[in-house]
Structure 1
Amino acid sequence: MSMNSNEVRCLIAGGAGCLGTNLARRLLDQGAQVDVVDNLSTGRQANVDQLSRHPNFGFIKMDIADPAICRRLQRRRYSHVYNLACPTGVPNIKRLGEQMLMASSAGTLNLLKITRRCKAKYLFASTAEAYGDPDVFPQPETYVGRVDPVGPRSPYEEGKRFGEALTRFWGGKYGIEVRIVRIFNTYGPAMSPKDQRVIPQMLTRLIAGQPVPIYGDGTQTRTFLHVDDLVNGLLTVVEKGVSGEVYNVGGDEQITVRDLFATVKKATGLRAKQPFASISSKITAAAGRTRPSFGPSAGGRTSRWKQASARATRTCFARWASSLPARLSAPRTGGTAARRSRAIGCSPPRHEPDGRPQYDLDGSQRVAGHKHRILVHGRAAALHRRTRQQQGRRDPSRHQGRRCRGRHSRA
Structure 2
Amino acid sequence: MKNSGENRALVAGGAGFIGSHLVDALLGEGLRVTCLDSFLTGRRTNLAHLAREPRLDLVEADVTEPLPDLPRFDWIFNLACAASPPHYQADPQHTMMTCVVGSHRMLECARSTGARFLQASTSEVYGDPQVHPQEESYWGHVNPTGPRACYDEGKRSAETLAFDYRRRYGLDVRVARIFNTYGPRMRADDGRVVSNVVCQALANEPITVYGDGEQTRSFCYVSDLVDGLMRLMRRETAPDGPVNLGNPREMTVAELVTLVSRMTGTRSQIVRRPLPVDDPQRRRPDITRAERLLGWAPRVALESGLEETIAWFAGEVARRDHVPVVGAARGGAARPRLEPALHSIAQG
TM-score computed with the length of structure 1 as normaliser = 0.65
Matched with 1:246 is 242
Matched with 1:16 is 15
Task: Tell me the CA shift for residue 244 of structure 1.
Answer: 4.5
Q: Secondary structure at the match of 2:91?
A: helix
Does the CA contact (< 8 Å) of 1:33 and 1:56 recur in 2?
yes
Backbone CA RMSD of aligned residues: 1.8
Task: Tell me the CA shift for residue 223 of structure 1.
Answer: 0.8
Is 2:225 aligned against 1:230? yes
Separation of aligned partners in 2, 1:81 and 1:227: 19
Gapped regions of structure 2 (runs ≥ 5): 285-348
Q: Which runs of 4+ in 1 moved over 4 A?
A: none
Q: Deviations over 1:301-360 (max 9, x none)?
A: xxxxxxxxxxxxxxxxxxxxxxxxxxxxxxxxxxxxxxxxxxxxxxxxxxxxxxxxxxxx
Separation of aligned partners in 2, 1:294 and 1:165: 22
Q: Deviations over 1:63-121 (max 9, x none)?
A: 01112x1x421xx1110000000112222243221111111111111111111111110
Does the CA contact (< 8 Å) of 2:129 and 2:283 recur in 1?
no
Is 2:249 aligned against 1:256? no
Matched with 1:55 is 54
Higher helix fraction: Structure 1 or Structure 2? 1
Matched with 1:175 is 170
Does the CA contact (< 8 Å) of 2:87 and 2:190 recur in 1?
no
Matched with 1:397 is none
Separation of aligned partners in 2, 1:207 and 1:276: 16
| CA distance 1:134–1:31, shift in 2 (3 Å) | same
Is 2:261 aligned against 1:265? yes
Does the CA contact (< 8 Å) of 2:107 and 2:162 recur in 1?
yes
Does the CA contact (< 8 Å) of 2:129 and 2:282 recur in 1?
no
What are the within-5 Å matches in structure 2 for residues 277-356 of structure 1?
Answer: 277=272, 281-283=273-275, 286=276, 288-294=277-283
What are the within-5 Å matches in structure 2 for residues 137-216 of structure 1?
Answer: 137-216=132-211
Task: Tell me the CA shift for residue 243 of structure 1.
Answer: 4.5
Separation of aligned partners in 2, 1:16 and 1:261: 29
Read off the aligned partner of 1:248 and give its amino acid letter.
N
Identity of aligned residues (%): 37
Q: Secondary structure at the match of 2:76?
A: strand
| CA distance 1:168–1:294, shift in 2 (3 Å) | closer
Does the CA contact (< 8 Å) of 1:87 and 1:99 recur in 2?
no
Task: Tell me the CA shift for residue 221 of structure 1.
Answer: 2.6
Does the CA contact (< 8 Å) of 2:206 and 2:271 recur in 1?
no
Q: How many residues align structurally?
A: 280
Separation of aligned partners in 1, 2:187 and 2:114: 34
Separation of aligned partners in 1, 2:171 and 2:86: 35
Separation of aligned partners in 1, 2:185 and 2:266: 23
Deviates more, 1:207-216 or 1:124-133: 207-216
Choose between structure 1 and 2 for higher RCO, CA contacts under 8 A separated by at least 6 residues. Answer: 2
What are the within-5 Å matches in structure 2 for residues 350-369 of structure 1?
Answer: none
Q: Secondary structure at the match of 1:135?
A: coil
Task: Tell me the CA shift for residue 214 of structure 1.
Answer: 2.5
TM-score computed with the length of structure 2 as normaliser = 0.76
Q: Secondary structure at the match of 1:31?
A: coil
Separation of aligned partners in 2, 1:289 and 1:176: 34
Gapped regions of structure 1 (runs ≥ 5): 296-411
